[in-house]
Amino acid sequence: MAVERTLSIIKPDATRRNLTGKINAKFEDGGLRIVAQKRVQLSKAQAEAFYGVHRERGFFNDLVSFMISGPVVLQVLEGENAIARNREIMGATNPANAAEGTIRKEFAESIEANSVHGSDAPETAAQEIAFFFAGTEIVG
Ligand code: ADP
Ligand code: MG
């Protein structure tokens, strides 16, 4: 295993319910370190570009609207095997399929409003981190 970094987003359904601290505790208890963090309001253009890979999907417009419906918390998480580890801590995309103890099982409202985003591979993690953070904002 190697030390990796991954991009995490605490989504608007979770910031609205004041769950940032409870979600961060899941990351920290799970062995990940929050090495960058900022709360922002995404623009429509940013949300469309970030989720560009899903542009052809039927849920794309709804997803973009949801992601700009309130503030998000952008984070870089660091740790051993951080990309896969974060996806384990998050749980399955659809909370109905998420394992006990995962963020999505405990907090997600629906398959769309599922509380967190996490990068899915080393290449996307690097791209997604660079999309939102300057190198100087990340302090390991
Ligand atoms: P993940 O976030 O687990 O990597 P995807 O990359 O497949 O999942 O999808 C990105 C996001 O799009 C999901 O987290 C969720 O917010 C939304 N989404 C995915 N599938 C659906 C769906 N069938 N209906 C509505 N929203 C969806
Ligand atoms: Mg994904």
Closest atom of ligand 1 relative to the 92 alpha carbon:
3
pLDDT 10s per residue in the chain (140 long)?
A: 799 999 999 999 999 999 999 999 999 999 999 999 999 999 999 999 999 999 999 999 999 999 999 999 999 999 999 999 999 999 999 999 999 999 999 999 999 999 999 999 999 999 999 999 999 999 99
- Are 40 and 106 contacting, i.e. CB atoms less than 8 angstroms apart? no
Q: Which pLDDT score is estimated for 1?
A: 73
**CA–CA dist 64, 43 (Å, integer):** 9
Pairing type for strands 33-40 and 72-80 reads antiparallel
Q: Which pLDDT score is estimated for 80?
A: 98
6 lines ligand 1 (CB under 6 A): no
Ligand 1, atom 26, residue with closest C-alpha: 112
- CATH code of domain 3-137: 3.30.70.141
User: What does the domain layout of the chain look like in residue ranges?
Assistant: 3-137
